[in-house]
Structure 1
């Protein structure tokens, strides 16, 4: 549903339940059942995938804004702790040599790790105190930028999310 295969979602869901008490079925002081791990994981991934606000999850899943925020924080931390060694590592020397070889063969020039792309988001709810820091010369409203270097095997080799400005390609890659 969110460009995430069902087996990957289940892998994340099961890992969160087995490692963290927060994602296990619990009951509150009144004996009322808490949200299931499936509800918490689904709501959180929906927040991340669609960029929705915490209030929309309240309407859709009947969770409080606090539960949605806490689920978002705990799932993000849990995914990093659980899957970070496999998916969030720097490319090894062997990985880089393979990427160089593939790009030289495919594109005809060497020294290329991947393709860089960026997108800008207008930050409508930017705090007033930050507006001057988050506004660049060519965009009149506060905005954030996402820059990604992806290799041909669709692995993100570098990701940067931050303020527009002096974050040009050279600075970001440094």
Structure 2
């Protein structure tokens, strides 16, 4: 159920929460001046993952998790910057020549010679697209403006 809801395995999510907690003070639970406990790292990351996984707005998360819209957006920004800082060198970089050779070899053994990775893409509706850009982002005859999100993955990213 966790994987379906957050679109990742639970241990990966907990690793991200732990890494963010140890590297960014924003993702630690603190006590405020009124001696009240603040938002926990799990709630911060859950908020962000719900917004990313479902394309939810900050206001919609507010109703579900009881975090204000401004706080949810700040959390999203800090989360994204933290993910880039923490994982850029390993996961968010261009492959080296050795990486490419290894990927090509593995995919050839799996019956896909010459394949580097698989590409998936989706159209997300862009409700607030500026009028001057509508022509560039309109898809087909439907008249809706969309942005295309693409992801490239290899077989070993799930480890």
Q: TM-score, normalised by structure 2?
A: 0.81
Per-residue deviation at 1:23? 1.2
Structure 2, unmatched stretches of 5+, are: none
Aligned length: 153
Residues 62-104 of structure 1, C-alpha deviation per residue, up to 9 Å, x if partnerless?
1000110011110111111112222112212122123333444
Farther-moved stretch of structure 1 (94-103 vs 58-67): 94-103
Greater than 6 Å deviation, 4+ residue runs: none
Shift of the alpha carbon at 1:114?
2.4
Greater percentage in helix: 2
1:36 paired to 2:40: yes
126, 129, 150: which is aligned to 1:126?
Answer: 129
Residues 54-93 of structure 1 aligned to structure 2 (within 5 Å): 54-93=58-97
RMSD: 2.4
Instruction: Name the structure 2 match of 1:52.
Output: 56
Alignment partner of 2:150 out of 147, 151, 158: 147
Deviation at 1:134, TM superposition (A): 2.4
Q: Distance in 1 between matches of 2:121 and 2:81?
A: 25
Q: What is the TM-score with the length of structure 1 in the denominator?
A: 0.75
Q: Which residue of 2 aligns with 1:167?
A: none
Query: The residue matched to 2:116 in structure 1 has which SS?
Result: coil
